[in-house]
């Protein structure tokens, strides 16, 4: 039974559309024209350029479209809640729905994405915040105007509360659902500007500790639907063994042998690997496990990549004065400052390839139409619009012919930006003309990893005669993530790496001369965004090295950071907060304390680790981790704490355990036996604090990751006087550092 009818706005309409269905109202706020026009839409004063979508049913249901993907970061709650706040909706009546892939309507206007409909980089809340508020306020105004006309009272005498329009003078109230029964759409809808929005003190939903996430109950009883849970009529199962490196071709394949396995219906060599089709999952897995493939890697860029051997090349590039270096951050003249310094320091840092290890292996269901001109996809994706674009290219049709049915994501962390499973399922469905449910095995998921890159860092610091930090040089040597994951941006920036170089800057430290540059390695690996992106390793290197500076000048690491941030109140506040939380100045017997600071896309955070060390085994134990963060305006306070806890665990896992090794371009690890992630027994006490500030909201999905590794390395230094300069800080590496 359709309780209300939703009418989707055509994507080429530039004016707002307000459709009255038989049983409800739909407000659609659309952007017209090219994507570049969408950029202009971030002008908050232009209320007509909004991307949002709300439907009010006569049963009082308020359906609000969530334009971003839900992967545990909470946007399925926070984004509709922002709109509901300005609409003055009864939160208990709000039903969030996932948006279709349609960037013209649902793109994120944040400057980072310029209208692309992608969920990444912790910018969903900051990017959609103002458009959703304006959309909610405008819908509210339409409802008020409709009631004013119906009751013949001035609109100014009407107020709203919990999905009711109220006329206090005549003691009348009417529910939004009842208004939806008669409301008419004005051709020229009311203008709304920032001035019409609520003041923070009037918020009824934003900032409430008692409003839980809408997906939590579904995830406590097994009813939340992920991509892997989808079943469609007539579907065939598939398992795909991806080529170990991009560009490798199948040379020898035991297709006949595998085809004889009971339940296996087809074995297909394809450009991206080998697909085994079957009547059941278990048949495709049996078939997959029986595959014997010889790959021809001639011409494959990654075929000779060996992560251990590559290190000497990385190290050489780190030191090579003639290497092509792209400045990602520059103030003053660091070369002059370093050559004129009374004292200089230099150190090299490393980090290894990392795997997302999302708990839901990559999967998708694809159903290509008989004529091959359209397709329907069911999957959990961070970038459905990219999937639609690529798939339409494969089918030689247009993106609007590709329907992406967004599902919950069983972990994203960047892995579900690249829609490999959806592409592969589509290719197979196009060949077989049957719906395909593709599920990778865990072994194949790790083999098909889109890893965080291996990185090398050379840092130099110059100190004047008083020990003041006057020069800073940070060179990152790595594969370029943008070149793989965001080629248009890579081209547009002349070869920069937004993803990989994030956090390379020193924008919040008063260092008068600093150059932070990037030198590219080309290894052909499928490097991608990974929770915290470049900040994860860049801040490990720079925040560790800053402690080396402190030690060289006899300064306390906390005092040095406070000195460097004395003109940056938000940065300084989180550092002070975490120092207070951890009682940082108090030394612990047999334990070390380390501190680190980082910003990330508009949020600020500082962390302190308390560790002990088993000198025999080299194993570090983290006993406590304190983290203070300033996210600006807080939408969901309890969930901000939850995100910080989550990010600290993710950061601990990366700091202590995680490492992919590569031989001949192929990842050597096969699953959770040889790629360990943090388990409960290694969980420290995690203490979180929100430092409030009167600033726009920032995203909270990633910032908590960033300070963990450097804080631990700095704690090890305080404890032992020894510096560890490589991630992960495995027992072997710790022992090397102590030797």
**Rule CB under 8 A: which residues touch other proteins?**
71-74, 212-213, 215-226, 228-229, 231, 237, 262, 280-282, 285, 357-361, 408-413, 439, 441-442, 638-639, 642-643, 645-650, 653, 671-673, 677-681, 683, 686
Cβ proximity to other proteins, 220 vs 308, nearer residue: 220
Least distance to other proteins from the beta carbon of 533, Å?
17
| Least distance in angstroms from the C-beta of 643 to other proteins | 8
Nearer to other proteins by C-beta: 424 or 480? 424
CB of 433 to other proteins, least distance (A): 22
* DSSP conformation class of 302: T
| Closer to other proteins by Cβ: residue 84 or 652 | 652
Least CB distance to other proteins at residue 445 (A):
9
Our CB check for other proteins shows the closer of 268 and 357 to be 357
Alpha-carbon distance 656 to 727, whole Å?
A: 7
C-beta of residue 50 within 8 angstroms of C-beta of residue 134: yes
Q: Rounded to 5 degrees, what are φ and ψ at 541? A: -70, -50
Going by C-alpha positions, the residue among 118, 106, 110 that lies closest to residue 29 is 106
Whether residue 696 contacts residue 713, with contact meaning beta carbons closer than 8 Å, is answered with no
* Measured distance CA(31)–CA(685) in Å, rounded: 47
Judged by beta carbon, residue 123 or residue 649, the one nearer other proteins is: 649
> Rounded CA gap, 308 and 659, in Å?
12
The length of the chain is 739
Query: And the tokens for 231?
Result: 């079943």
Of the two residues 445 and 479, which places its CB atom closer to other proteins in the complex? 445
138 vs 598 by CB, closer to other proteins = 598
CB of 501 to other proteins, least distance (A): 26
Nearer to other proteins, 237 or 508 (CB): 237
Question: Where do the H-state alpha helices sit in 381-480?
Answer: 384-394, 420-432, 442-447
| CB under 8 A, 24+ apart: contacts of 674-681 | 675/355, 675/357, 675/446, 677/357, 677/653, 678/649, 678/650, 678/652, 678/653
- Residue 5 burial (CB < 10 Å; 0-12/13-18/19+)? middle
The DSSP letter of residue 326 is E
Cβ 441 to other proteins, closest distance in Å? 6
Closest distance of CB 289 from other proteins, Å: 10
Instruction: Identify which of residues 221 and 312 has a Cβ nearer to other proteins in the complex.
Output: 221
Q: Where are the alpha helices (DSSP H) in 243-397?
A: 255-259, 281-290, 307-319, 334-339, 384-394
Q: Where are the alpha helices (DSSP H) in 21-69?
A: 35-40
CA pair distance 691, 41, nearest whole angstrom? 31
Q: How far is CA 540 from the centre of its chain?
A: 19
Given the complex with other proteins, which of 197 and 677 has the nearer CB atom?
677
Would you state the torsion angle of the CA atoms of residues 7, 11, 16, 17, taken in this order, to the nearest 10 degrees? -20
User: What would the two tokens of residue 585 be?
Assistant: 């100045």
- Angstrom distances, CA of residue 229 to CA of 432, 693, 726: 22, 41, 40
Cis bond upstream, residue 728 (ω within 30): yes
Q: Are strands 236-242 and 273-278 parallel, antiparallel or unpaired?
A: antiparallel
Give the side-chain half-sphere CA count within 13 A for 409: 28
Q: Which is nearer to other proteins, 437 or 456 (CB)?
A: 437
Min dist. Cβ of residue 307 to other proteins (A):
23
Q: With respect to other proteins, which residue has the nearer C-beta, 416 or 523?
A: 416
Smaller CB separation from other proteins, 508 or 626: 626
Q: Which two tokens stand for residue 200?
A: 């923070």
| Paired residues of 327 in beta bridges | 517
CA pair distance 87, 79, nearest whole angstrom: 13
Nearer to other proteins, 192 or 611 (CB): 611
The nearest distance, CB 712 to other proteins, in angstroms, is 16
Provide the minimum distance between the beta carbon of 35 and other proteins in the complex, in angstroms, as a whole number.
29
Determine the Cα–Cα distance for residues 678 and 358; give it in Å rounded to an integer: 13
- Quote the least distance from Cβ 619 to other proteins, whole Å: 16
Neighbours of 77 (CB within 10 A): 23
Nearest-angstrom CA–CA distance, 231 and 45 = 45
**Residue 196 CB, nearest approach to other proteins (Å):** 33
* Shortest Å distance, C-beta 636 to other proteins: 9
Cβ proximity to other proteins, 563 vs 645, nearer residue: 645
Minimum distance from CB of 382 to other proteins (Å)? 12
Which residues touch 739 (CB under 8 Å, ≥6 apart)? none
Cβ neighbors of 474 (< 8 A, separation 6 or more) are 457, 458, 459, 504, 506, 514, 515, 516, 517, 538, 541, 542, 545
Rounded distance between C-alpha atoms, residue 687 and residue 692, angstroms? 16
Tokens 């890579």 label which residue?
Answer: 490
Within 10 angstroms of residue 114's Cβ, the number of other Cβ atoms is 17
Residue closer to other proteins by CB (options 41, 361) is 361
Work out how close the CB of 450 gets to other proteins at its nearest, in angstroms, rounded to a whole number: 15
CA distance 277 to 446: 20
Q: Which of 456, 695, 730 is nearest to 613 (CA)?
A: 730
DSSP state letters, 633-645: S-S-HHHHHHHHH
Q: Is the CB of 553 or the CB of 668 nearer to other proteins? A: 668
Instruction: Please state the closest distance from residue 473 (CB atom) to other proteins, in A.
Output: 34
Q: How far is the CB of 303 from other proteins (least distance, A)?
A: 28
Alpha-helical segments (H) within 23-163: 35-40, 75-87, 103-106, 124-151
Please, what is the minimum distance in Å from the beta carbon of residue 697 to other proteins?
Answer: 19
Q: Give the residue from 150, 181, 141, 187 showing the smallest Cα distance to 60.
A: 181
Q: Using the minimum distance from each CB to other proteins, give the nearer residue, 247 or 361.
A: 361
CB-CB contact of 237 with 277 (8 Å)? yes
């Amino acid at each position: 039974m359709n309780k209300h009818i939703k009418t989707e706005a055509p994507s080429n309409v530039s004016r707002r559309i307000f459709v009255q269905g038989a049983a409800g109202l739909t407000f659609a706020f659309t952007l017209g024209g090219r994507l570049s026009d969408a950029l202009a839409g971030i002008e908050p004063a232009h209320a007509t350029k909004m991307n949002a979508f709300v439907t009010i049913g006569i049963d009082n249901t308020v359906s609000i479209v969530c334009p971003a993907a839900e992967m545990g970061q909470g946007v399925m709650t926070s984004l509709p809640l922002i709109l509901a706040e300005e609409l003055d909706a009864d939160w208990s009546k709000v039903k969030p729905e996932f948006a279709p892939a349609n960037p013209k309507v649902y793109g994120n206007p944040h400057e980072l994405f310029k209208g692309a409909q992608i969920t990444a980089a912790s910018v969903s809340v900051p990017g959609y915040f103002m458009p959703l508020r304006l959309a909610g306020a405008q819908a509210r105004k339409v409802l008020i105007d409709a009631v004013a006309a119906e009751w013949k009272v001035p609109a100014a005498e009407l107020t709203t509360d919990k999905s009711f329009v109220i006329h206090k003078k005549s003691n009348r109230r009417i529910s939004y659902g009842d208004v939806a029964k008669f409301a008419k759409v004005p051709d020229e809808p009311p203008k709304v500007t920032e001035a019409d929005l609520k003041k923070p003190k009037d918020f009824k939903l934003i900032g409430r500790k008692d409003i839980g996430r809408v997906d939590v109950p579904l995830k406590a009883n097994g009813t939340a639907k992920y991509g892997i849970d989808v079943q469609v009529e007539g579907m065939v199962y598939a398992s795909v063994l991806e080529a170990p490196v991009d560009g490798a071709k199948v040379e020898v394949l035991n297709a006949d042998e595998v085809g004889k396995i009971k339940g296996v219906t087809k074995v297909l060599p394809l450009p991206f690997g080998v697909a085994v089709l079957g009547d059941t999952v278990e048949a495709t897995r049996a078939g997959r496990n029986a595959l014997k493939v010889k790959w021809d890697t001639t011409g494959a860029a990654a075929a000779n990549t060996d992560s251990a051997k590559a290190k000497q090349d990385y190290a050489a590039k780190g030191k090579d004065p003639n290497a092509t270096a792209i400045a990602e951050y520059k103030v003053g003249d660091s070369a002059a400052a370093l050559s004129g310094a009374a004292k200089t320091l230099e150190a090299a840092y490393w980090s290894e390839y990392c795997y997302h290890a999302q708990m839901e292996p990559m999967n998708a269901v694809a159903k290509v139409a008989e004529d091959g001109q359209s397709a329907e996809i069911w999957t959990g994706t961070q970038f459905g619009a990219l999937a639609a674009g690529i798939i339409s290219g494969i089918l030689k049709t247009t993106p609007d012919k590709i329907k992406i049915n967004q599902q919950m994501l069983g972990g994203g962390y960047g892995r579900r930006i690249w829609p490999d499973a959806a592409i592969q399922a589509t290719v197979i469905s196009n060949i077989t003309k049957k719906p395909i449910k593709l599920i990778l095995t865990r072994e194949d998921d790790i083999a098909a990893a889109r890893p965080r890159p291996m990185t090398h860092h050379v840092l130099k610091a110059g100190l004047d005669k008083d020990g003041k930090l006057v020069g800073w040089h940070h060179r990152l040597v790595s594969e370029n993530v943008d070149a793989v994951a965001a080629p248009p941006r890579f081209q547009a920036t002349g070869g920069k790496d937004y993803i990989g170089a994030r956090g390379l800057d020193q924008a919040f430290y008063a260092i008068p001369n600093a150059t932070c540059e990037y030198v590219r390695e080309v290894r052909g690996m499928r490097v991608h965004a990974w929770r915290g992106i470049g900040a994860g390793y860049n801040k490990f290197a720079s925040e560790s090295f800053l402690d080396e500076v402190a030690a060289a000048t006899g300064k306390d690491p906390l005092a040095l950071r406070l000195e460097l941030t004395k003109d940056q109140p938000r940065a300084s506040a989180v550092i002070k907060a975490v120092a207070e939380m951890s009682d940082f100045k108090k030394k612990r017997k047999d334990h070390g304390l380390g501190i680190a600071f980082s910003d990330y896309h508009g949020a600020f955070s500082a962390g302190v680790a308390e560790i002990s060390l088993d000198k025999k085994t080299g194993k570090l134990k983290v006993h406590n981790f304190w983290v203070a963060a300033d996210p600006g305006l807080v939408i969901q306070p309890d969930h901000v704490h939850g995100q910080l806890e989550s990010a600290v665990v993710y950061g601990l896992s990366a700091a202590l355990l995680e490492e992919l090794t590569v031989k001949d371009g192929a990842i050597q690890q096969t699953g959770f036996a040889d790629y360990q992630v943090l388990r409960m027994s290694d969980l420290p006490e995690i203490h979180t604090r929100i430092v409030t500030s009167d600033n726009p909201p920032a995203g909270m999905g990633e910032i908590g990751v960033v300070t963990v590794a450097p804080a631990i390395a700095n704690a090890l230094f305080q404890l032992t006087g020894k510096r560890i300069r490589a991630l992960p800080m495995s027992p072997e590496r710790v022992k090397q550092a102590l030797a």
